[in-house]
């Protein structure tokens, strides 16, 4: 058990991490939903696709992945010669747990003509039995690149339903979902728009269809950053995990960002603390290990995505 008072104040902890990263020849990657103080010191901060690409490019010996397990697994899949650390081993993803590799194989039996598109929010085992991966940023592009008249999308039904709007293919969806994104609803957005006249509602593709219907803009987190930078609006209702607002506020100090729902917090993304990073680097623990046969098959699915 980590004593979170062991290493001093935030600035002291950040300095310790910086020294350890240099000592270990390590790189620190942080997802957009991580705690502010972690995003502040990350070598690279971004969404799932951006982090996957950065992990694949780095010359560091060690990748410290501040996100959730499936993200660190993806880095380990693509970088078998590197050590990948997930600072808090308990940082998982409820959506990932909603489907297993066995479920995917059953779907393939039921729809033998349909390629399987695995959202990166899946386990290494699920990726290994899928045809190609996707992120919320490139799901439409991935689906439209595939042959045939229908595809299977796992595990997020909301991302699948959103993708269906932009393809002529029949999208067969698994029934998984992201619990935080499910909490935003049109009624909340309407109340906030009345409170902040002229506010622009920005939604994530993991949102429910009825929430997507009232959105002014729908995008992955990387697209959201670009949109709010370029928009002339003053008020933005942000329909994704509130950690994204840290960078938005830094980049746009003259704009106001409001969370679309007070429950838009991912508990797993907040499990990682500076102390976890220090402990994992000092003691080289919480290293991600994937069976080689699974890694090889899962890598094909990720490479198929990156090739686009």
Phi, psi of 112 (to 5 degrees): -65, -20
Answer whether 145's CB lies under 8 Å from 151's CB: no
- Say what the pLDDT of residue 267 is: 97
| Overall fold of domain 96-178 | Rossmann fold (3.40.50)
Ranges of residues in the chain with a pLDDT under 50 are none
Which of 3.40.309.10, 3.40.50.10800, 3.30.70.3340, 2.40.50.140 is the CATH number of 184-259? Answer: 3.40.50.10800
By C-alpha distance, which of 183, 189, 136, 181 is closest to 160? 136
- Say what the pLDDT of residue 49 is: 72
Is residue 62 packed enough to be buried (19+ CB in 10 Å), middle (13-18) or exposed (0-12)?
A: buried
Proportion of the chain in helix, strand, coil states, percent, rounded to 5: 45, 15, 40
CATH number assigned to the domain covering 10-92+269-289: 3.40.50.10800
**Identical fold at 10-92+269-289 and 184-259?**
yes
Answer whether 107's CB lies under 8 Å from 154's CB: yes
Hey, where are the domains in the chain? 10-92+269-289, 96-178, 184-259
Give the separation between CA 277 and CA 255, rounded to whole angstroms. 32
Q: Report the predicted TM-score, pTM, of the whole model to 2 decimal places.
A: 0.92
Give the separation between CA 185 and CA 200, rounded to whole angstroms. 15
How many Å is the Cα radius of gyration of the chain? 19
Q: How many other C-beta atoms are found inside a 10 Å radius of the C-beta of residue 165?
A: 12
Give the separation between CA 260 and CA 20, rounded to whole angstroms. 38
Q: What percent of the chain has pLDDT over 90?
A: 91
- Say what the pLDDT of residue 287 is: 98
Strand partners, 132: 117
Answer whether 163's CB lies under 8 Å from 151's CB: no
- Say what the pLDDT of residue 5 is: 62
Chain centre to alpha carbon of residue 6: 30
What Cα–Cα distance (Å) separates residue 8 from each residue in 5, 16, 278, 280, 300? 6, 10, 12, 17, 44
- Say what the pLDDT of residue 47 is: 85
């Amino acid at each position: 058990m980590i004593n979170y008072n062991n290493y001093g104040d935030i600035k002291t902890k950040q300095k310790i991490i910086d020294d350890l990263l240099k000592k270990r020849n390590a790189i620190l990657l942080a997802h957009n939903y991580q705690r502010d103080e972690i995003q502040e010191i990350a070598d690279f901060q971004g969404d799932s696709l951006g982090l996957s690409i950065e992990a694949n490019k780095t010359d560091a010996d060690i990748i410290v992945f501040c996100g959730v397990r499936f993200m660190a697994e993806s880095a380990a899949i693509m970088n078998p010669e590197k050590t990948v650390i997930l600072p808090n081993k308990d940082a998982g993803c409820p959506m990932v747990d909603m489907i297993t590799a066995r479920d995917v194989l059953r779907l393939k039996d039921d729809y033998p003509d349909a390629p399987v598109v695995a959202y990166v929010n899946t386990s290494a085992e699920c990726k290994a039995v899928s045809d190609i991966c996707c992120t919320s940023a490139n799901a439409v592009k991935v689906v439209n690149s595939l042959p045939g008249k229908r595809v299977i999308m796992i595990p997020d039904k909301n991302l699948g339903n959103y993708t269906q709007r932009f393809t002529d293919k029949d999208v067969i969806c698994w029934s998984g979902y992201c619990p935080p994104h499910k909490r935003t609803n049109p009624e909340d957005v309407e109340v906030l728009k009345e409170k902040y006249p002229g506010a622009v509602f920005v939604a994530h593709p993991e949102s429910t269809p009825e929430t997507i219907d009232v959105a002014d803009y729908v995008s992955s987190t990387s697209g959201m950053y670009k949109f709010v930078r370029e928009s002339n609006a003053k008020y933005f209702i942000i329909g994704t995990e509130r950690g994204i607002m840290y960078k938005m506020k830094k980049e746009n100090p003259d704009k106001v960002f409001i969370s679309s729902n007070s429950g838009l917090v991912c508990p797993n993304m907040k499990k990682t603390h500076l102390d976890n990073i220090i402990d994992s680097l000092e003691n080289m623990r919480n290293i991600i290990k994937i069976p080689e046969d699974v890694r090889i098959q899962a890598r094909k699915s990720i490479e198929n995505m990156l090739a686009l």
